[in-house]
């Protein structure tokens, strides 16, 4: 039986030379692999109260939607600035070169709601950290953060755990 990691392909020099891109679309395309990933992403949170699932742009929408459906809970997207149609709140965060802004609808999460954050890949943790700040500003309580892939050399897991956030990953890849 294949593992989740075996469904993920690596593409060298994408999007830039020297980058090893971990492509989860091959995981999503395989029904057994996709089901395995969704089930395994849910396992660490069994028994936890979860009111909403937040997916981080963009592959987090695919995983988050599937996980929210499995739990019969609502799904909330956290998107890049300017992509959501309603009133939003924003959070800037640092990239390797520059800055980006993530947004969430201001009415997406009610105070006290328990939230699971989902994305495909954990690198530096910047995107997830921006998402946690948005959720906390709305009064949401973060149950945990669930990822398919961790790139441990980039320190995202250490960052999130240093903030007291429970983190679950299905597999790790060395190299950025």
Provide the residue count of the chain.
176
Active site residue 96: yes
- Among 118, 129, 61, 60, residue whose Cα is nearest residue 94: 129
Taking the C-alpha atoms of residue 68 and residue 99, their distance in angstroms, rounded to an integer, is 30
59 is catalytic: yes
pLDDT for 97-115, tens place per residue?
779 999 999 999 999 999 9
pLDDT in tens, the chain (176 residues): 999 999 999 999 998 898 899 999 999 999 999 999 999 999 999 999 999 999 999 999 999 999 999 999 999 999 999 999 999 999 999 876 779 999 999 999 999 999 999 999 999 999 999 999 999 999 999 999 999 999 999 999 999 999 999 999 999 998 76
Closest by CA to 176, choosing from 122, 112, 98, is 122
Please check whether residue 38 is in contact with residue 59, taking contact to mean a CB–CB distance below 8 angstroms.
no
| 67 close to 34: Cβ distance less than 8 angstroms | no
Residue in 17, 22, 96, 157 annotated catalytic: 96
Identified catalytic residue from 59, 79, 129, 157: 59
Query: Structure pTM?
Result: 0.96
Domains (range + CATH), the chain: 33-170 (3.40.50.2020)
């Amino acid at each position: 039986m294949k593992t989740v990691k075996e469904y993920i392909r690596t593409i060298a020099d994408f999007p830039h030379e020297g980058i090893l891109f971990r492509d989860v679309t091959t995981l999503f395309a395989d029904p057994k692999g996709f089901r395995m990933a969704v089930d395994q992403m849910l396992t660490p949170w069994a028994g936890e109260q979860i009111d909403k699932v937040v997916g981080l742009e963009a592959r987090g929408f695919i995983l988050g939607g599937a996980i929210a459906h499995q739990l019969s809970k609502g799904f909330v997207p956290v998107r890049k600035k300017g992509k959501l149609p309603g009133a939003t709140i924003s959070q800037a965060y640092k990239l390797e070169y520059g800055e980006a802004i993530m947004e969430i609808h201001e009415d997406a999460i009610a105070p006290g709601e328990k939230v699971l954050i989902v994305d495909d890949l954990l690198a530096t943790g910047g995107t997830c950290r921006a998402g946690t700040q948005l959720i906390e500003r709305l009064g949401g309580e973060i149950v945990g953060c669930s990822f398919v892939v961790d790139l441990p050399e980039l320190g995202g897991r250490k960052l999130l755990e240093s903030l007291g956030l429970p983190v679950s990953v299905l597999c790790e890849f060395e190299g950025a």
